Amino acid sequence: MVILIRPRLLLATIINLFLTSAAVPVPPWLGHDEKRSGGGGFVGVDGMQFVANDRTTVYLSGFNAYWLMTTASDPAQRAKVLAAFRQASAHGLNLARTWAFSDGGDKPLQSSPGVYDEAMFKGLDFVVAQARRHGVYLLLCLTNNFHDFGGKRQYVQWARDAADDDDDDLVITTAAAADDDFFNSTVVKGYYKNHVKTVLTRVNTFTGVAYKDDPTIFAWELMNEPRCDADPTGAMVQAWVEEMAPYVKSIDSNHLVTVGLEGFYGLGLHESKALNPWAIYYGTNYIDTHRAQGVDLATIHLYPDLWLWGATPAQQAAFFRNWTAAHARDTQRYLRMPLLVTEYGKFLLRWDQDQGANRSQRERDYFLAMVLDAIYDSASNGGPLVGGAFWQLLDDGMDALRDGYEIILPQDRQAATIIRNHSRQLAQLNGQDRRRRRYRSTSRDRKIRVGSSSSSAGDADTPPPRFPLISLARFVSVFRQISSFFF
């Protein structure tokens, strides 16, 4: 997610929304530069399904928790990681997406190129060991497009710091494009490959198993949300993926690999950039890039409220349906691989229990049910959309990490029930023998929708009532509360 630990940006966006009033809102990203793994064996791909042990189906009910490694690096904080896995397990969640990187900064995994912090690595070891114990697969992400936890900016900075005078490897034109040297510089690519190799060959200090040999790990993700302003055609990211995905496979042939894309269409063959929010494109090609050698599964992200800022819930729901249907269709038609919604979320106004907060919660839960129903519909009908991971799971007492998109299972009872119901439905599809019985798709299964009894809207196809544009007085009070919350 882009605004991760950047509440100020969100705040700026909210202010901007009110300054521009009912005019066409400025999309917030414009103009800122900047089942159970135990004994299941490695997850593989068979057509558009995931399989374990080469034959039984695996569907994924997942969550994001980027903070697991950094939290577990402090043994005094490990109870939080344990609580997260316990809650996940109790709600039938079987996939966690998390960061296997922290490049530079105050709490680095890699403090400078090739130099690793052992306490942080032990934190990651702990996460992998506990995921295994709790029957949760891990989708481990290897660096960030954005500069939270380092990412491509930190890598490029390292290369610049190390460069001597006659090094013209870093072709820097504008400040905005400079970070994108990440995809092109030989020096930076060498640093990145070294990070990949270091993580994949790490031997877990709790289990004694090398990461590359551990079936708890479901897949590697090359980067969180790659985008490339320097080359809108997508060729630069394409070349990078074509180099890096096979590189991962050359070290680790056991695990699946994905790119980490948000799903934006670009200028490649069969792409329809009209489908992108505001028809903007981001230097990536959903179809072509997922076709690169070594890429096993496709991903999309989904933030209708961020991407269509200011649109009504009905418009956002329409966008959601279009976006998901288009990607499922294109994945089936052109990619023939499984598709996961690896991030989705909706901002929740949590700070007071009046009408506004309750409505916000109903809308969030409605959104959650809508995404999960779409996943189940596809999964139970043999479609490519076979799982997802909500953004983001936090435990009680982790207020510093709240970003408005958090789901705290012990507090958010309705969301927790929706998630648990969905996990239960998906689990019934798990473990079927692909060779004997293709899909269990009875009309009874299809009729049971996790959202159908949600209190927001009886019929899952009817959007909830429109959230009214908050009045100025209301905005001032909301603003005060947000600012006291963040600052």
Catalytic residues: 225, 343
Q: Does 106 bind ligand NAG (CB under 6 A)?
A: no
- Interface segment toward ligand NAG; rule CB under 6 A; list 40-48, 69-77, 230-238, 437-445: 230-238
Q: Which x/- pattern, by CB under 6 A, does the window 353-392 give for ligand NAG?
A: xxx--x----------------------------------
Q: How far is the CB of 171 from ligand NAG (least distance, A)?
A: 5
Residue 392 identity (one-letter amino acid)? Q
Least distance (Å) from ligand NAG to the CB of residue 305?
Answer: 14
* Shortest Å, Cβ 391 to ligand NAG: 20
Task: Give 61 or 454: the residue with its C-beta nearer to ligand NAG.
Answer: 454
Strand partners, 99: 141
Per the listing, tokens 């294109």 go with: 330
Q: Distance between CA 14 and CA 32 in Å, rounded?
A: 14
Least CB distance to ligand NAG at residue 92 (A)? 12
CA 371, 387, 378, 421 dihedral sign is negative
Query: Which is closer to ligand NAG, CB of 92 or CB of 383?
Result: 92
The region that residue 393 occupies, defined by phi over 0 for left and psi between -120 and 50 for alpha, beta otherwise, is: beta
Q: Are 270 and 334 in contact (CB under 8 A)?
A: yes
- Integer Rg of the chain from CA: 22
Query: Rounded to the nearest whole angstrom, what is the least distance from the CB of residue 274 to ligand NAG in the complex?
Result: 5
Q: Which stretch binds ligand NAG (CB under 6 A): 295-303, 397-405, 449-457, 460-468?
A: 449-457
22 contact partners, CB below 8 Å, separation of at least 6: 469
What is the rounded distance in angstroms from the CA atom of residue 401 to the CA atom of residue 338? Answer: 31
231 binds ligand NAG (CB under 6 A): yes
Residues 406-425 within binding reach of ligand NAG (CB under 6 A): 417-418, 421
Residue closer to ligand NAG by CB (options 128, 187) is: 187
- Distance, in Å, from the CA atom of 389 to the CA atom of 412, rounded to the nearest integer, reads 17
In the list 236, 297, 339, 385, the residue contacting ligand NAG (rule: CB under 6 A) is 236
Q: Contacts with ligand NAG in 153-182 (CB under 6 A)?
A: 169, 171
CB-based contacts of 299: which residues, under 8 Å, 6+ apart? 221, 258, 259, 260, 261, 262, 263, 339, 340, 341, 342
Q: Which residues pair with 383 in a beta bridge?
A: none
Enumerate residues 6+ apart whose C-beta is below 8 A from 428: 440, 445
Contact flags string 255-284 toward ligand NAG, x per CB under 6 A: -----------------x-xx---------
C-alpha torsion angle, residues 9, 12, 14, 19 (rounded to 10) = -160
Coil vs helix vs strand at 138: strand
- By beta-carbon proximity to ligand NAG, the closer residue of 319 and 475 is 319
Is the CB of 40 or the CB of 277 nearer to ligand NAG?
Answer: 277
The distance of closest approach from Cβ of residue 439 to ligand NAG in the complex, given in angstroms and rounded to an integer, is 21
d(CA 297, CA 258): 6
Question: Residue 174 or 205: which CB sits closer to ligand NAG?
Answer: 174
User: Can you tell me whether residue 210 is helix, strand or coil?
Assistant: strand
How many residues lie near ligand NAG (CB under 6 A)? 22
Please report the sign of the dihedral spanned by the C-alpha atoms of residue 130, residue 424, residue 257, residue 259.
negative
Residue 157, Cβ neighbours under 10 Å: how many? 17
Nearer to ligand NAG, 253 or 353 (CB): 353
Kindly state the smallest distance separating residue 246's Cβ from ligand NAG, in Å.
20
* 198 is a site residue for ligand NAG (CB under 6 A): no
Q: Which is nearer to ligand NAG, 129 or 418 (CB)?
A: 418
Q: How far is the CB of 365 from ligand NAG (least distance, A)?
A: 8
Q: For ligand NAG, which stretch binds (CB under 6 A), given 1-9, 54-62, 228-236, 478-486?
A: 228-236
Position 331: which residue type?
Answer: T
DSSP annotation string for 272-294: -GGGSGGG---S--HHHHHTSTT
Strand bridging mode 339-344 / 56-58:
unpaired
Least CB distance to ligand NAG at residue 169 (A): 6
The residues in 300-359 that bind ligand NAG, with binding defined as CB under 6 A, are 318-319, 322, 353-355, 358
Region at 464 (left for phi over 0; alpha for psi -120 to 50; beta for the rest): beta
Q: Which one-letter DSSP state was computed for residue 230? A: S
Closest CB to ligand NAG among 342 and 454? Answer: 454
Residues that bind ligand NAG (CB under 6 A): 169, 171, 184, 230-231, 236, 272, 274-275, 318-319, 322, 353-355, 358, 417-418, 421, 450, 453-454
